[in-house]
Amino acid sequence: MSNKIMLIINPCAGRKKGKKKSGSVAELFKQHGFDCTLFLTEKRNDATSFVIQHGKEYDLIACMGGDGTLNEVINGIIKANLDLPLGYIPAGSTNDFARSMHLSKNIKKAVAIITKGDTTRIDVGLFNDRYFGYVSSFGLFTKTSYRTSQKIKNIFGGKLSYFMHGATELFNIRTEHMFIETGTRTYEDNYLFGAVTNSTSLGGVLKYDPEQVDMNDGLLEILLVRKPKNPAELFSLLKSVLSKNFTQDSNIIFDRSDRFTIHPASRSDWSLDGEFAYSTGSCEIRCLKERISFIIPETNN
């Protein structure tokens, strides 16, 4: 593997783990024989700008932060039309993408994976003109990730903070009326929650069966949840979620396609990889097959 590395760190992610460890992470790469240049983000979209401006000067890119930081780096790589290996040190509150890719939160192990691991091609989602690594979602809990302050996330941890803030939405619960085209099927109803994903984990809570998700098959999965009408339907819904079986509940739709066109009845808020992505009307979501070269643990391990 080439050894000139661009290291982007979000110093605020995960109890400010990035700020505390930025120097030592760069030093770890140097100990592995890498010529490492460190970039620290200060505001939103810094990581994207760094990659667009400087990415072509390096042999590979690594980032340390949460899923939002990774999202920005992915956007930078594609917008700059780069095809460099991408490594990820998960330091956020939930790290859904890292969980799906079996990456370690231990910094030394994560650096070792980036310096010694294998690469694989993975799919990327395109939401209108913005890219996402693992999820675009609307409805219940969608606002939670980008409305929950970084301070709260750092104090309570990702899952608990999302539950705390998401629970408040239950008192003012509403559905989103959506008409959805997949190319082969159409769906129309009032949905409590919807997500188009390329991941086995959402919010650290909702899990897909790994047998149902292939992150480089050119397809994205869609999960649509109708609002339960009574306690019995709510119990059935929770049972399906906990068992990862989304095909037996009448209030859950699970499907996959390489393209989705979604028409909301009214203005709808979206989240991409946990970051706000406001949409004013119909949106198109497409799968870009094997668009990113991602560094994973050695396959023989």
Residue 105 is part of which domain span?
4-123+292-296
**The tokens 């809990």 sit on which residue?**
141
Residue 169 lies in a domain: yes
> Does residue 301 lie in a domain region?
no
C-alpha Rg value of the chain to the nearest Å: 19
- Residues for the chain: how many in total? 301
Cβ neighbours around 245 below 10 Å, total = 14
- If one counts the domains in the chain, the total is 2
Residue pair 88/100 in contact by the 8 Å Cβ criterion: no
State pTM to two decimals. 0.84
Q: What is the DSSP annotation of 12-66?
A: THHHHHHHHHHHHHHHHHHHTT-EEEEEE--STTHHHHHHHHHGGGSSEEEEEE-
Strand, helix or coil for residue 128:
coil
Whether residue 38 is found in the same domain as residue 9: yes
Q: Are residues 150 and 264 in the same domain?
A: yes
The reply to whether 49 falls in a domain is yes
What CATH number is associated with residue 250? 2.60.200.40
Residue 200 belongs to a domain: yes
For residues 42 and 113, membership in a common domain is answered with yes
- Tell me whether residue 38 is in a domain: yes
Give the model confidence (pLDDT) of 116-128 as tens digits: 999 999 999 999 9
Assigned domain for 190 exists: yes
Q: What average pLDDT does the segment 246-259 reach?
A: 88
Q: Hey, is 70 helix, strand or coil? A: helix
Is residue 180 one of the residues assigned to a domain? Answer: yes
Over residues 190-232, the pLDDT tens digits come to: 998 899 999 887 766 677 777 778 999 999 999 998 888 887 8
- Looking at the domain assignment, is residue 40 inside a domain? yes
